Amino acid sequence: MDFESLFAKRTGYPPVYLARAPGRVNLLGEHVDYSDGIVLPMALEQEVKLAAAPGIKGVVTLFALDLDEQVAFRLADLETRLDIEGRPLPDWSLYPAGVAWALRRAGLEPASLSVAYISDIPIGAGLGSSAAVEVGFAVLWQAAGGWRIEPLELARLCQAAENEYAGVACGLMDQFASACGVEGHALYFDTRSLAWREEPLPLGFTVVIADSGVRRSLSNSEYNDRRASCEEAVKILKRRIPNITALRDISPIEFAAYGDLLPPIIRRRAEHVVKEIARVETAASALRRSDARAFGALMFSSHASLRDLYSVSTPELDALVEIARRLPGCLGARLTGAGFGGCTVNLVEEDEVGRFVSELPRSYQAQTGRQARVYSTRAGPGASAKKPSQGRIPHKRTVPS
């Protein structure tokens, strides 16, 4: 049964609007966003799909098909975070409700809709599943409301929904990649200026995701400790380099000169960030000249840094990377996302993808006793919405050169 039929079966009428929003994988640039760094994500072909029709006036009804749950809330009561029965909204519904809240705060009225949605993005794997839900609802309400805003601004509204309504600390990268994805391209995104541009992915190579089966366990305290270490490093280094405001402002050469001023743990954390930002710049240059081998080497280097300097890897993630390194056709591999579980991302020659996808989980299970889900993907387009009889609804996009 196709998705439109599923919607009709659940609601009793056909959808008037359809929307989709992709997940994302970060190819390079991990744990640098809170130091004003540069990241290099891409939108995935794995996505959230939404179908909707006008609903009860002033009410939004959600059908989360993956969870087999539903809830309804009044748009006028969003501040209360209660459903129409006066009960607290379930956690999963805070993401779409938060988008409605953020839109209203921005003066954009979300329509009263009945919405069913389903996703093939693994939850909790570091692939932007919650951001895809947010962006999917945002483009859905945009189509229903007939208003248009730039995709980057839409992403910022979705980030506000997650930060301020759902209460989850996150940067802008996930929502940005879901809203602004470009088919066949990575996205060079400056988290300080919010400028971005497309970078072509090398032809003849495929991105492969390997889910370790270990769900992320990076606690708020561990995340905050690492962020605090970066901030403390800036305070100390500012005594010698007065104009810096974030680790983004320190070059690898300057860090080599002044890094010894830092306590050992803070030095390791800062060294990762400084060198990771430099890796992204080098990687973008490699993509422009179609140098897949150089890009892959930077991925391996990034993983070693996240493991040894930032201490966010796990034995399972390390096993996936080391097994991948030995397999024919693999040019690069690294953990992606916050770490402490989740996935690795791999760059593999197209001719070797079939063998890679079958051999990696087999060797991983033999080594760790765990099962890994391994699948190839591609860089897909950003979120879109349409009426069932229409093509994709276009949006403007500005790409700095």
Task: Give per-residue pLDDT as tens, 324-360.
Answer: 999 999 999 999 988 888 999 999 999 999 999 999 9
List pLDDT tens digits, range 212-263. Answer: 998 765 555 677 889 899 999 999 999 999 999 999 999 999 999 999 999 9
Torsions phi, psi for 31 (to 5 deg): 60, 40
High-pLDDT (> 90) share of the chain, %: 83
Q: Is the model's pLDDT at 392 over the cut of 50?
A: no
Q: Is the model's pLDDT at 167 over the cut of 90?
A: no
SS3 content of the chain, % helix, strand, coil (to 5): 45, 20, 35
Spatial separation of the C-alpha atoms in residues 162 and 99, rounded to whole Å:
8
CB burial readout 43-60, b (16+ within 10 A) else e: bbbbbbbbbbbebeeebb
pLDDT, residue 36, reads 95
Q: Is the model's pLDDT at 401 over the cut of 70?
A: no
Q: At 2, is the pLDDT very low, low, confident or very high (cuts 50, 70, 90)?
A: confident
Please answer whether residues 6 and 145 qualify as being in contact, where contact means their C-beta atoms are separated by less than 8 angstroms.
no
Q: Is the model's pLDDT at 201 over the cut of 60?
A: yes
pLDDT, residue 151, reads 96
Alpha helices (H) in 289-336, listed in sequence order: 292-308, 315-326
Alpha-carbon radius of gyration of the chain: 21
**Which residues, other chains included, contact 351 with Cβ-Cβ below 8 Å and sequence gap of 6+?**
329
Structure tokens at 230: 């970066």
**Which residues, other chains included, contact 77 with Cβ-Cβ below 8 Å and sequence gap of 6+?**
none
Spatial separation of the C-alpha atoms in residues 29 and 116, rounded to whole Å:
34
**Which residues, other chains included, contact 122 with Cβ-Cβ below 8 Å and sequence gap of 6+?**
46, 129, 211, 343, 373
Pick left, alpha or beta for residue 68 (phi over 0 → left; psi -120 to 50 → alpha; otherwise beta). left
Q: At 389, is the pLDDT very low, low, confident or very high (cuts 50, 70, 90)?
A: low
Domains of the chain, start order: 3-201+381-386 (3.30.230.10), 206-377 (3.30.70.890)
What does the mean pLDDT of the chain come to? Answer: 92
Least confident range of 13-27, 61-75, 214-228, 387-401: 387-401
Q: Is the model's pLDDT at 76 over the cut of 70?
A: yes
Structure tokens at 325: 């390194």
Please answer whether residues 45 and 383 qualify as being in contact, where contact means their C-beta atoms are separated by less than 8 angstroms.
no
Name the residue with tokens 């306590």. 263
Select which of 33, 83, 174, 249 is catalytic. 174
Task: Compute the residue count for the chain.
Answer: 401
Spatial separation of the C-alpha atoms in residues 139 and 255, rounded to whole Å:
43
Q: At 197, is the pLDDT very low, low, confident or very high (cuts 50, 70, 90)?
A: very high
Spatial separation of the C-alpha atoms in residues 290 and 251, rounded to whole Å:
25
Active site residue 174: yes
List pLDDT tens digits, range 105-139. Answer: 999 999 999 999 999 988 777 788 999 999 999 99
- Long-range contact list for 184-189, CB < 8 A, 24+ apart? 184/378, 184/379, 185/42, 185/379, 186/27, 186/40, 186/41, 186/42, 186/287, 186/379, 187/40, 187/41, 187/42, 187/43, 188/38, 188/40, 188/280, 188/284, 189/38, 189/39, 189/40, 189/41
Q: Is the model's pLDDT at 391 over the cut of 80?
A: no
Please answer whether residues 157 and 102 qualify as being in contact, where contact means their C-beta atoms are separated by less than 8 angstroms.
yes
Rounded mean pLDDT, 184-211: 96
Q: At 171, is the pLDDT very low, low, confident or very high (cuts 50, 70, 90)?
A: confident
Q: Is the model's pLDDT at 398 over the cut of 50?
A: no
Torsions phi, psi for 295 (to 5 deg): -60, -45
3-class secondary structure for 104-123?
HHCCCCCCCEEEEEEECCCC
Please answer whether residues 360 and 210 qualify as being in contact, where contact means their C-beta atoms are separated by less than 8 angstroms.
yes
Please answer whether residues 383 and 372 qualify as being in contact, where contact means their C-beta atoms are separated by less than 8 angstroms.
no
